[in-house]
Amino acid sequence: MKRFFQIALFSLSTIAIVALLIYVYLNHEQQPLQKVMIHVAREGKKGFLNKDEIIGYVERHLNDTIRLKDVDLDFIEDSLAQTPWVDNIDAYTDIDGNLIINIRESKPVLRVFNQFGRSFYLDNKGKILPLSQQYAPRLLIANGYIQTNPMPGHHNINDTIYKKSDLKKLLAISKSINQYKLLPSMVSEIYLNSQYEFDLIPTIGDQIIRLGDTTNLTHKLENLVIFYKKSMVYEGWDNYKTINLKYKNQIVCTKK
């Protein structure tokens, strides 16, 4: 008998909790919409996305929406995700009746100038980003005999349409450079030369750093860091014409 009452009590408690949740949900859905709140996650204070412009866009879409049940969260997420500088987006309503939109902004790591005069950014996931009149971050530059033009409808260099382009290699080099504390301040440009090999242009000095292809990339850059710390500091920045990293386990330098 005791067992029966325990089961009955548990069942009633479960039904009560479910009924309460349904009531809270329905009551929440009928709540009036209070305000739109935008949170943009990015590394610095400035970026590509403007909160006021996003709020204005959302409010125009909401128009005469007055209840939370009428807010189309999927449409808001899908439409804002079309903005090229948006990496990820999550929209929801809270218990106070606010529409919360959390956006993670794309992180550009490289600015590309191709040989046709076209310029664009690559973010850390290989996404192709257009230039912006609002924001121009200081980044490592890729230049030279780069023939790839961004193709409409294909916004990531991991798409098969970019299989034969050098953009993947350029991104790999830039990401590898950014893994070192010293190199981002020492290297200003990646140059794809006429032999379709990669050179690095330093910030200090006028020497050319011959990187070659991306084979053993990490090892080559580690050698460059060691060379900078042990040789260039003592011998000076203007003694060398070229620093060649293409050969395994050695650095071949040409003095002026």
Please report the pLDDT score of residue 194 as a whole number. Answer: 93
Please report the pLDDT score of residue 235 as a whole number. Answer: 67
Please report the pLDDT score of residue 21 as a whole number. Answer: 41
Cα torsion 19, 24, 30, 36 to 10°: value is -150
A 10 A CB-CB count for 243 gives 24
**Distance (Å, rounded) from C-alpha 221 to C-alpha 180?**
9
A 10 A CB-CB count for 106 gives 22
Please report the pLDDT score of residue 136 as a whole number. Answer: 93
159: left (phi over 0), alpha (psi -120 to 50) or beta: beta
**Distance (Å, rounded) from C-alpha 151 to C-alpha 162?**
9
Please report the pLDDT score of residue 237 as a whole number. Answer: 67
With 0-12 CB in 10 A as exposed, 13-18 as middle and 19+ as buried, what is 148? buried
Residue-range domains of the chain with CATH: 36-105 (3.10.20), 108-255 (3.40.50)
The closest of 172, 200, 170 to 187, measured between CA atoms, is: 200
| Residue reference for tokens 């953009």 | 167
* Backbone phi and psi for residue 254, each to the nearest 5 degrees, phi listed first: -115, 120
Whole-structure pTM over 0.85, yes or no? Answer: no
Q: Contacts by 106-109 with C-beta closer than 8 Å and gap 24+?
A: 106/48, 107/42, 107/43, 108/137, 108/139, 109/139, 109/140, 109/171, 109/174, 109/175, 109/178
As averages over each run of 10 residues, the pLDDT of the chain (256 residues) reads: 48 47 45 86 90 87 74 90 94 86 96 95 96 92 95 91 93 94 92 95 88 92 87 70 86 80
